[in-house]
């Protein structure tokens, strides 16, 4: 995928998120934050596990001297 393709993908994800949140608020159905809160109440380790995954992705993508142009 080209840079423009990734940019279009990110814009589409953000727009879809906005539409779904607006639809949830308009129809009085659970929003993403309510769903995450309910899931965390049912499974308390969800927060730390998501944190480990996000931290692992940050290390994977932004660890020094690992990407293109490292030399």
- pLDDT tens track for 5-35: 989 999 999 999 999 999 999 999 999 999 9
Is the full-model pTM beyond 0.75? no
Residue 30 contacts residue 24 (beta carbons within 8 Å): yes
Residue 65, pLDDT score: 67
User: Which residues make Cβ contacts (< 8 Å) with residue 21, sequence separation at least 6?
Assistant: 31, 32
Residue 36 in this model has a pLDDT that exceeds 60: yes
């Amino acid at each position: 995928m080209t840079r423009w393709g990734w940019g279009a993908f990110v814009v589409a994800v953000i727009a879809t998120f906005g539409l779904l949140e607006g639809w949830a608020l308009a129809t009085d159905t659970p929003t993403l934050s309510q769903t995450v809160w309910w899931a965390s109440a049912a499974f308390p380790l969800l927060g730390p596990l998501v944190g480990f995954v996000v931290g692992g992705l940050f290390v994977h993508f932004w660890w020094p001297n690992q990407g293109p142009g490292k030399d």
